[in-house]
Amino acid sequence: MKKLKCAVIGTGYLGKFHAEKYASLPDCELVAVVDINEAAAQAVAEKNGATALVDYRGLLGTVDAVSIVVPTTLHHAVAKDFLTSGVHVLVEKPITVTVAEADELIAIAKENNLVLQVGHLERFNPAVLGLDKDEKPLFIESHRLAPFNPRANDVSVVLDLMIHDIDIILALVDSEVERIDASGTAVLTQGTDIANARLLFKNGCVANVTASRISMKLERKMRMFRPSSYVSVDFQNRVLTKHRTGSKEMFPGIPEIETEESVFESGDALLEEIKHFVLCIQTGDNPLVSGVAGRRALATAIRITGLLGDK
């Protein structure tokens, strides 16, 4: 099979890792990396045997696939240029700034029969992949807490951290959001730094979602109650715990509770995400996190930020 000619647009903190993954894949040839900081692009290019560029437009029509790892405000313009040139796109989350921008990218990708995948990395966490979808959740509670990091303070905590859990919850519940209540406050930045949102779905499920980027500890957990089971996902430690009613009795007429815990080895979620992107290009399958899924998460996040008074 012919190797895919790939490129990475943006060689910042995350972009350099994208470049490393493409360079390691036998089905890919990392042709170029692009950054307006020429020195940064050159350093990543030399490490991975690629060409360094400062203007991505020189690649239009010359590559098969790209990862777009630039500031969110540039996602739409850069992705649109590549999609209209017939190039498959993996764009980091959030997909775009506005829902209208996301809709345009989805339409262009569909019209040109291209893969548009959104980089919601937590979907490739082995603990999430190991979660069975047999039962729809009745109630979900998630906490995503992190110490302050100046790298992502150009957006609120909702678009920075909470959107990971929003994406997963929307995929699990698979129902329209009927109502949202939210509260939050700015502490260290101009945007919301700690927030809580309560999502009520049309099928009756309720999700209580908390995110903070001013915590003293790192915690990424989700708990869900289902008709016959309780499930806990520890994203950070890759632990999936299931409690369900068993066949034996704990007390007369009361079934015992069986517990099953799965601890997954440390994986490389970014590598799995990019391998999935490449596979979808090769097979024509829809990606796990499609443009539509990315749009859905963005639309919900925007509703929450609107309630919080963020732009």
Residue written as token pair 């350099």: 16
CATH number of 123-265+299-308: 3.30.360.10
pTM of the predicted structure, to 2 decimals: 0.93
pLDDT reading at 27 higher than 90: yes
Question: Residue 311: its pLDDT value, please?
Answer: 58
Mean pLDDT score, 184-207 = 94
Residues 215 and 166: their CA atoms lie apart, in Å, by: 20
pLDDT digits (tens, 9 = 90+) for 202-240: 999 999 999 999 999 999 999 999 998 999 999 999 999
Pick the CATH number of 4-114 from 3.40.190.10, 3.40.50.720, 2.40.30.10, 3.40.50.80: 3.40.50.720
The backbone torsions φ and ψ at residue 173, rounded to the nearest 5 degrees and listed phi first, read -80, -40
Question: Residue 152: its pLDDT value, please?
Answer: 64
First to last CA, the chain: 46
> Domain residue spans in the chain?
4-114, 123-265+299-308
